[in-house]
Amino acid sequence: MKTSGKAAIAVVGAAVVVGAAFVVPRIGGDGGAPATQRLGGARATPGGVAPAGARPFTLVGTGDIIPYPSIIQRAADDAGGKGHDFRKILAGVKPIVAGADVALCHHEIPYGRPGGPYTGYPTFKAPHQLADALKDAGYDGCSTASNHTLDAGYEGLARTLENLDRVGIKHAGSARSPEEARTPGWVTAGGAKIAQLSYTYGTNGIPLPAGKPWAVNVTDKDRILADARAARAAGAHVVVLSIHWGTEWQTAPDAQQRELAQALTAARTDGLPDIDLILGTHNHVPQPYEKINGTWVVFGMGDQVASFVPADKKRGNTSSVPRFTLNPSASHPGRWEVVKAEYFTQYSDMGPPFRVVCTSCEGTGGRADHRAVDRQVTEAVMSRGAGAQGLTRATRP
Protein backbone atom coordinates (compact mmCIF):
# COMPACT_ATOMS: atom_id res chain seq x y z
CA MET A 1 0.00 0.00 0.00
CA LYS A 2 1.00 3.63 -0.31
CA THR A 3 3.64 4.91 2.05
CA SER A 4 4.03 8.48 3.29
CA GLY A 5 6.91 10.85 2.76
CA LYS A 6 7.05 10.66 -1.02
CA ALA A 7 8.83 13.57 -2.65
CA ALA A 8 9.66 14.70 -6.14
CA ILE A 9 10.49 12.51 -9.11
CA ALA A 10 13.93 13.26 -10.48
CA VAL A 11 13.94 15.74 -13.33
CA VAL A 12 17.40 15.77 -14.83
CA GLY A 13 19.06 16.34 -18.15
CA ALA A 14 18.13 18.26 -21.27
CA ALA A 15 18.80 18.11 -25.00
CA VAL A 16 17.86 19.45 -28.40
CA VAL A 17 15.62 17.71 -30.89
CA VAL A 18 17.43 15.52 -33.39
CA GLY A 19 14.71 13.01 -34.23
CA ALA A 20 15.35 9.47 -33.09
CA ALA A 21 19.13 9.66 -32.82
CA PHE A 22 20.95 8.61 -29.67
CA VAL A 23 23.51 11.42 -29.88
CA VAL A 24 22.52 14.97 -29.04
CA PRO A 25 24.71 18.03 -29.55
CA ARG A 26 25.82 19.81 -26.41
CA ILE A 27 24.10 23.08 -25.68
CA GLY A 28 25.52 26.13 -23.98
CA GLY A 29 24.46 27.39 -20.57
CA ASP A 30 23.47 25.59 -17.38
CA GLY A 31 20.68 23.64 -19.04
CA GLY A 32 23.14 21.93 -21.37
CA ALA A 33 25.79 20.91 -18.85
CA PRO A 34 26.16 17.19 -18.21
CA ALA A 35 24.50 16.11 -14.99
CA THR A 36 27.84 15.27 -13.39
CA GLN A 37 28.90 18.88 -13.93
CA ARG A 38 25.56 20.24 -12.76
CA LEU A 39 26.05 18.48 -9.43
CA GLY A 40 29.53 19.83 -8.96
CA GLY A 41 31.25 16.91 -10.66
CA ALA A 42 30.12 14.48 -7.96
CA ARG A 43 30.95 10.88 -8.71
CA ALA A 44 28.16 8.33 -8.68
CA THR A 45 28.25 6.08 -5.66
CA PRO A 46 27.45 2.40 -6.26
CA GLY A 47 25.70 2.07 -2.94
CA GLY A 48 25.99 3.32 0.57
CA VAL A 49 24.81 2.68 4.06
CA ALA A 50 21.36 1.11 4.05
CA PRO A 51 18.88 3.49 5.68
CA ALA A 52 17.27 2.47 8.93
CA GLY A 53 14.04 0.58 8.35
CA ALA A 54 14.95 -0.44 4.81
CA ARG A 55 12.25 -2.77 3.52
CA PRO A 56 10.74 -4.14 0.29
CA PHE A 57 8.41 -2.04 -1.82
CA THR A 58 6.33 -2.42 -4.97
CA LEU A 59 6.56 -0.22 -8.05
CA VAL A 60 3.90 -0.07 -10.77
CA GLY A 61 4.19 1.62 -14.16
CA THR A 62 1.45 2.28 -16.71
CA GLY A 63 1.47 3.23 -20.38
CA ASP A 64 0.59 6.24 -22.46
CA ILE A 65 -2.37 8.36 -21.38
CA ILE A 66 -3.85 9.83 -24.59
CA PRO A 67 -7.33 11.34 -24.13
CA TYR A 68 -8.82 11.44 -27.62
CA PRO A 69 -11.91 13.64 -28.16
CA SER A 70 -14.29 10.73 -27.48
CA ILE A 71 -12.63 10.19 -24.08
CA ILE A 72 -12.77 13.88 -23.29
CA GLN A 73 -16.48 13.82 -24.11
CA ARG A 74 -16.94 10.81 -21.82
CA ALA A 75 -15.21 12.72 -18.99
CA ALA A 76 -17.53 15.67 -19.64
CA ASP A 77 -20.56 13.37 -19.48
CA ASP A 78 -19.28 11.80 -16.27
CA ALA A 79 -18.90 15.28 -14.78
CA GLY A 80 -22.59 15.99 -15.37
CA GLY A 81 -21.99 19.31 -17.07
CA LYS A 82 -19.44 20.55 -14.53
CA GLY A 83 -16.12 20.37 -16.33
CA HIS A 84 -14.48 16.99 -16.85
CA ASP A 85 -14.20 14.02 -14.52
CA PHE A 86 -11.81 11.23 -15.52
CA ARG A 87 -12.10 9.33 -12.22
CA LYS A 88 -14.70 6.82 -13.40
CA ILE A 89 -12.61 6.09 -16.48
CA LEU A 90 -9.67 5.04 -14.27
CA ALA A 91 -11.66 3.44 -11.45
CA GLY A 92 -11.12 -0.10 -12.78
CA VAL A 93 -7.34 0.12 -12.41
CA LYS A 94 -7.28 2.27 -9.28
CA PRO A 95 -6.79 -0.77 -6.99
CA ILE A 96 -3.58 -1.66 -8.85
CA VAL A 97 -2.24 1.89 -8.85
CA ALA A 98 -3.27 2.84 -5.32
CA GLY A 99 -2.15 -0.54 -4.00
CA ALA A 100 1.47 -0.01 -5.06
CA ASP A 101 4.02 1.77 -2.90
CA VAL A 102 5.11 3.77 -5.96
CA ALA A 103 2.99 4.27 -9.10
CA LEU A 104 4.29 6.03 -12.21
CA CYS A 105 2.21 7.06 -15.22
CA HIS A 106 3.22 8.30 -18.65
CA HIS A 107 1.59 11.68 -19.25
CA GLU A 108 1.66 11.77 -23.04
CA ILE A 109 -0.13 15.02 -23.80
CA PRO A 110 -0.32 18.66 -22.58
CA TYR A 111 -3.29 20.47 -21.09
CA GLY A 112 -5.22 23.10 -23.01
CA ARG A 113 -6.43 26.39 -21.61
CA PRO A 114 -9.28 26.08 -19.08
CA GLY A 115 -12.48 25.80 -21.06
CA GLY A 116 -10.70 24.57 -24.18
CA PRO A 117 -10.52 24.07 -26.99
CA TYR A 118 -9.52 20.45 -26.37
CA THR A 119 -8.15 18.62 -29.37
CA GLY A 120 -6.99 15.23 -30.59
CA TYR A 121 -4.51 14.02 -33.16
CA PRO A 122 -2.20 15.41 -34.45
CA THR A 123 -1.82 18.03 -31.69
CA PHE A 124 -3.42 17.09 -28.40
CA LYS A 125 -4.81 19.34 -25.70
CA ALA A 126 -6.62 17.77 -22.73
CA PRO A 127 -8.60 19.21 -19.81
CA HIS A 128 -6.50 19.88 -16.73
CA GLN A 129 -8.94 17.88 -14.56
CA LEU A 130 -7.09 14.80 -15.78
CA ALA A 131 -4.47 15.62 -13.13
CA ASP A 132 -7.10 15.34 -10.39
CA ALA A 133 -8.13 11.89 -11.60
CA LEU A 134 -4.51 10.70 -11.74
CA LYS A 135 -4.05 11.82 -8.15
CA ASP A 136 -7.29 10.12 -7.15
CA ALA A 137 -6.11 6.89 -8.78
CA GLY A 138 -2.99 6.93 -6.64
CA TYR A 139 -0.19 8.04 -8.95
CA ASP A 140 2.93 9.44 -7.32
CA GLY A 141 4.69 10.67 -10.44
CA CYS A 142 4.54 10.74 -14.22
CA SER A 143 7.02 10.91 -17.06
CA THR A 144 6.23 13.86 -19.33
CA ALA A 145 8.77 13.60 -22.17
CA SER A 146 7.00 12.47 -25.34
CA ASN A 147 6.63 13.35 -28.98
CA HIS A 148 3.49 15.32 -27.99
CA THR A 149 4.97 17.30 -25.06
CA LEU A 150 5.05 20.49 -27.13
CA ASP A 151 1.69 20.07 -28.88
CA ALA A 152 0.39 23.15 -27.05
CA GLY A 153 3.74 24.93 -27.10
CA TYR A 154 5.74 25.96 -24.08
CA GLU A 155 2.57 27.41 -22.54
CA GLY A 156 0.93 24.00 -22.62
CA LEU A 157 4.03 22.34 -21.19
CA ALA A 158 4.07 24.78 -18.28
CA ARG A 159 0.32 24.45 -17.72
CA THR A 160 0.65 20.67 -17.50
CA LEU A 161 3.43 20.81 -14.91
CA GLU A 162 1.56 23.47 -12.92
CA ASN A 163 -1.48 21.22 -12.64
CA LEU A 164 0.58 18.16 -11.72
CA ASP A 165 2.19 20.30 -9.02
CA ARG A 166 -1.24 21.46 -7.91
CA VAL A 167 -2.39 17.93 -7.14
CA GLY A 168 0.96 16.77 -5.77
CA ILE A 169 2.07 14.48 -8.62
CA LYS A 170 5.79 14.64 -9.35
CA HIS A 171 7.10 14.73 -12.90
CA ALA A 172 10.20 14.16 -14.99
CA GLY A 173 11.02 14.80 -18.64
CA SER A 174 9.99 18.43 -19.20
CA ALA A 175 10.76 21.62 -17.31
CA ARG A 176 9.93 25.30 -16.86
CA SER A 177 13.41 26.46 -15.95
CA PRO A 178 17.04 25.35 -16.12
CA GLU A 179 16.90 24.80 -12.37
CA GLU A 180 13.92 22.46 -12.66
CA ALA A 181 15.56 20.59 -15.52
CA ARG A 182 18.80 20.02 -13.65
CA THR A 183 17.57 19.49 -10.09
CA PRO A 184 16.78 15.89 -9.13
CA GLY A 185 13.69 15.19 -7.07
CA TRP A 186 12.71 12.06 -5.25
CA VAL A 187 10.03 9.52 -4.48
CA THR A 188 10.56 7.52 -1.31
CA ALA A 189 9.34 3.99 -0.56
CA GLY A 190 10.63 1.32 1.78
CA GLY A 191 13.33 3.70 2.94
CA ALA A 192 14.69 3.93 -0.62
CA LYS A 193 15.14 7.16 -2.57
CA ILE A 194 13.86 6.53 -6.09
CA ALA A 195 14.85 8.77 -9.01
CA GLN A 196 12.87 8.72 -12.23
CA LEU A 197 14.46 9.92 -15.46
CA SER A 198 12.39 10.60 -18.59
CA TYR A 199 13.37 11.14 -22.25
CA THR A 200 11.75 11.10 -25.70
CA TYR A 201 13.13 10.37 -29.15
CA GLY A 202 11.78 13.73 -30.40
CA THR A 203 8.84 16.13 -30.47
CA ASN A 204 7.25 15.51 -33.89
CA GLY A 205 9.42 18.15 -35.49
CA ILE A 206 8.25 20.93 -33.17
CA PRO A 207 11.40 22.84 -32.17
CA LEU A 208 12.26 23.39 -28.55
CA PRO A 209 11.09 26.83 -27.37
CA ALA A 210 13.49 29.64 -28.23
CA GLY A 211 15.95 30.20 -25.40
CA LYS A 212 14.67 27.13 -23.54
CA PRO A 213 16.80 24.18 -24.70
CA TRP A 214 16.12 22.47 -21.37
CA ALA A 215 12.31 22.34 -21.88
CA VAL A 216 12.14 18.68 -23.00
CA ASN A 217 14.63 15.84 -22.43
CA VAL A 218 15.55 14.23 -25.74
CA THR A 219 17.15 10.79 -25.87
CA ASP A 220 20.93 10.61 -25.80
CA LYS A 221 22.69 7.57 -24.34
CA ASP A 222 25.59 9.45 -22.81
CA ARG A 223 23.34 12.05 -21.25
CA ILE A 224 21.02 9.41 -19.79
CA LEU A 225 23.95 7.64 -18.17
CA ALA A 226 25.44 10.90 -16.89
CA ASP A 227 22.08 11.79 -15.37
CA ALA A 228 21.68 8.35 -13.82
CA ARG A 229 25.14 8.58 -12.24
CA ALA A 230 24.40 12.08 -11.01
CA ALA A 231 21.21 10.82 -9.40
CA ARG A 232 23.26 8.13 -7.63
CA ALA A 233 25.70 10.78 -6.44
CA ALA A 234 22.75 12.78 -5.12
CA GLY A 235 21.55 9.80 -3.07
CA ALA A 236 19.35 7.65 -5.30
CA HIS A 237 19.09 4.04 -4.19
CA VAL A 238 16.98 3.15 -7.25
CA VAL A 239 17.07 4.74 -10.71
CA VAL A 240 14.06 4.19 -13.00
CA LEU A 241 14.33 5.21 -16.64
CA SER A 242 11.12 6.12 -18.47
CA ILE A 243 11.80 6.31 -22.20
CA HIS A 244 9.60 7.19 -25.18
CA TRP A 245 11.01 5.13 -28.07
CA GLY A 246 10.43 2.48 -30.71
CA THR A 247 8.25 2.00 -33.78
CA GLU A 248 4.52 2.62 -33.51
CA TRP A 249 2.21 -0.41 -33.93
CA GLN A 250 5.12 -2.84 -33.80
CA THR A 251 5.07 -5.51 -31.09
CA ALA A 252 8.71 -6.52 -31.50
CA PRO A 253 11.25 -3.97 -30.24
CA ASP A 254 13.12 -2.34 -33.10
CA ALA A 255 16.89 -2.27 -33.56
CA GLN A 256 17.32 1.08 -31.83
CA GLN A 257 15.39 -0.10 -28.78
CA ARG A 258 17.41 -3.29 -28.55
CA GLU A 259 20.75 -1.55 -29.01
CA LEU A 260 19.99 1.23 -26.52
CA ALA A 261 18.61 -1.24 -23.97
CA GLN A 262 21.81 -3.29 -24.26
CA ALA A 263 24.02 -0.24 -23.79
CA LEU A 264 22.08 1.24 -20.88
CA THR A 265 21.73 -2.00 -18.93
CA ALA A 266 25.40 -2.85 -19.47
CA ALA A 267 26.54 0.46 -17.95
CA ARG A 268 28.18 -0.04 -14.56
CA THR A 269 29.88 2.06 -11.92
CA ASP A 270 32.19 0.05 -9.66
CA GLY A 271 30.53 -3.09 -10.96
CA LEU A 272 26.95 -2.07 -10.14
CA PRO A 273 24.27 -1.02 -12.66
CA ASP A 274 23.66 2.66 -13.26
CA ILE A 275 19.99 2.04 -14.12
CA ASP A 276 17.77 -0.38 -12.20
CA LEU A 277 14.64 -0.52 -14.36
CA ILE A 278 13.54 0.65 -17.83
CA LEU A 279 9.89 1.44 -18.65
CA GLY A 280 9.14 2.06 -22.33
CA THR A 281 6.27 3.95 -23.97
CA HIS A 282 5.19 5.32 -27.38
CA ASN A 283 4.43 2.19 -29.45
CA HIS A 284 0.64 2.15 -28.83
CA VAL A 285 0.74 -1.65 -28.49
CA PRO A 286 2.14 -3.92 -25.76
CA GLN A 287 5.73 -4.97 -26.30
CA PRO A 288 7.87 -7.62 -24.60
CA TYR A 289 9.49 -7.61 -21.20
CA GLU A 290 13.06 -8.89 -21.04
CA LYS A 291 15.82 -9.08 -18.45
CA ILE A 292 18.94 -7.73 -20.15
CA ASN A 293 22.30 -7.73 -18.39
CA GLY A 294 20.37 -8.51 -15.21
CA THR A 295 18.04 -5.50 -15.52
CA TRP A 296 14.34 -5.69 -16.39
CA VAL A 297 13.37 -3.81 -19.53
CA VAL A 298 9.73 -3.22 -20.44
CA PHE A 299 10.11 -2.33 -24.10
CA GLY A 300 6.59 -0.90 -24.32
CA MET A 301 3.59 -0.96 -22.01
CA GLY A 302 1.10 0.15 -24.67
CA ASP A 303 -1.55 2.85 -24.24
CA GLN A 304 -3.32 2.91 -20.90
CA VAL A 305 -6.00 5.38 -21.98
CA ALA A 306 -6.82 5.44 -25.71
CA SER A 307 -9.79 4.90 -28.01
CA PHE A 308 -8.82 3.51 -31.39
CA VAL A 309 -11.81 2.59 -33.55
CA PRO A 310 -10.36 1.12 -36.80
CA ALA A 311 -10.10 -2.67 -36.66
CA ASP A 312 -6.41 -2.62 -37.53
CA LYS A 313 -5.67 -0.29 -34.62
CA LYS A 314 -7.77 -1.77 -31.83
CA ARG A 315 -4.61 -3.30 -30.39
CA GLY A 316 -3.85 0.27 -29.33
CA ASN A 317 -6.58 -0.04 -26.70
CA THR A 318 -4.62 -2.74 -24.84
CA SER A 319 -1.65 -2.51 -22.52
CA SER A 320 0.32 -4.21 -19.80
CA VAL A 321 0.94 -2.92 -16.28
CA PRO A 322 4.27 -4.05 -14.81
CA ARG A 323 4.60 -4.49 -11.07
CA PHE A 324 8.05 -5.01 -9.60
CA THR A 325 8.89 -5.87 -6.01
CA LEU A 326 12.25 -4.51 -4.87
CA ASN A 327 14.11 -5.72 -1.80
CA PRO A 328 17.09 -4.14 -0.03
CA SER A 329 20.20 -5.83 -1.37
CA ALA A 330 21.95 -8.08 1.11
CA SER A 331 25.24 -7.94 -0.79
CA HIS A 332 25.24 -4.22 -1.63
CA PRO A 333 23.96 -2.05 1.24
CA GLY A 334 22.22 1.05 -0.03
CA ARG A 335 20.89 -0.69 -3.14
CA TRP A 336 17.54 -2.31 -3.83
CA GLU A 337 17.06 -5.08 -6.39
CA VAL A 338 14.07 -6.53 -8.20
CA VAL A 339 13.09 -9.84 -6.62
CA LYS A 340 9.68 -10.29 -8.23
CA ALA A 341 8.42 -9.26 -11.68
CA GLU A 342 4.72 -9.37 -12.56
CA TYR A 343 2.35 -7.87 -15.10
CA PHE A 344 -1.36 -7.16 -15.35
CA THR A 345 -3.26 -6.98 -18.64
CA GLN A 346 -5.44 -3.97 -19.31
CA TYR A 347 -8.03 -2.76 -21.82
CA SER A 348 -9.50 0.61 -22.76
CA ASP A 349 -13.04 -0.72 -23.09
CA MET A 350 -14.96 1.65 -25.33
CA GLY A 351 -18.27 0.53 -23.86
CA PRO A 352 -20.35 2.63 -23.71
CA PRO A 353 -19.47 3.97 -21.27
CA PHE A 354 -15.69 4.15 -21.88
CA ARG A 355 -13.75 2.58 -18.99
CA VAL A 356 -10.22 1.23 -18.41
CA VAL A 357 -10.37 -2.29 -16.99
CA CYS A 358 -7.90 -4.85 -15.71
CA THR A 359 -8.42 -7.98 -17.84
CA SER A 360 -6.17 -10.29 -15.82
CA CYS A 361 -7.64 -9.39 -12.44
CA GLU A 362 -9.87 -11.86 -10.64
CA GLY A 363 -13.52 -11.28 -11.44
CA THR A 364 -12.99 -9.63 -14.84
CA GLY A 365 -12.63 -12.73 -17.03
CA GLY A 366 -16.31 -13.23 -17.83
CA ARG A 367 -16.41 -11.39 -21.16
CA ALA A 368 -15.00 -12.98 -24.27
CA ASP A 369 -13.37 -9.73 -25.46
CA HIS A 370 -11.67 -9.25 -22.09
CA ARG A 371 -10.32 -12.79 -22.19
CA ALA A 372 -9.04 -12.18 -25.71
CA VAL A 373 -7.22 -9.04 -24.57
CA ASP A 374 -5.64 -10.98 -21.71
CA ARG A 375 -4.33 -13.59 -24.17
CA GLN A 376 -3.10 -11.03 -26.70
CA VAL A 377 -1.25 -8.90 -24.16
CA THR A 378 0.27 -11.96 -22.51
CA GLU A 379 1.53 -13.23 -25.85
CA ALA A 380 3.25 -9.91 -26.56
CA VAL A 381 4.71 -9.52 -23.08
CA MET A 382 6.17 -13.03 -23.06
CA SER A 383 7.41 -13.01 -26.67
CA ARG A 384 11.10 -12.64 -25.78
CA GLY A 385 11.25 -15.32 -23.10
CA ALA A 386 10.40 -13.28 -20.01
CA GLY A 387 8.49 -16.19 -18.50
CA ALA A 388 11.66 -18.24 -18.30
CA GLN A 389 13.35 -15.23 -16.67
CA GLY A 390 10.79 -15.18 -13.85
CA LEU A 391 7.99 -12.88 -15.08
CA THR A 392 4.51 -13.95 -13.95
CA ARG A 393 0.96 -12.78 -14.72
CA ALA A 394 -0.72 -10.99 -11.83
CA THR A 395 -4.37 -11.41 -10.93
CA ARG A 396 -4.65 -9.57 -7.62
CA PRO A 397 -3.97 -5.85 -7.07
Q: Where are the domains of the chain?
A: 57-393
pTM > 0.75: yes or no: yes
Q: In what order do the strands lie in the sheet with 187-189?
A: 187-189, 192-200, 238-244, 277-281, 295-298, 289-292
pLDDT of residue 48: 56
- Stretches where the chain sits below pLDDT 70 are 1-49, 183-185
- Size of the chain in residues: 397
Which pLDDT belongs to residue 26? 28
CA–CA separation, 197 vs 271, rounded Å?
A: 21
Q: Give the pLDDT score at 154.
A: 98
pLDDT of residue 180: 85
pLDDT value of residue 364: 84
Burial 36-75, CB ≥16 within 10 A → b, else e: bebbeeeebbbbeebbeebebbbbbbbbbbbbbeebbebb
What pLDDT does 43 receive? 39
Please give the Cα distance from 23 to 2 (Å, whole number).
38
Per-residue pLDDT, 21:
34
Architecture of domain 57-393: 4-Layer Sandwich (3.60)
Instruction: Give the Cβ contact number of residue 362 at 10 Å.
Output: 9
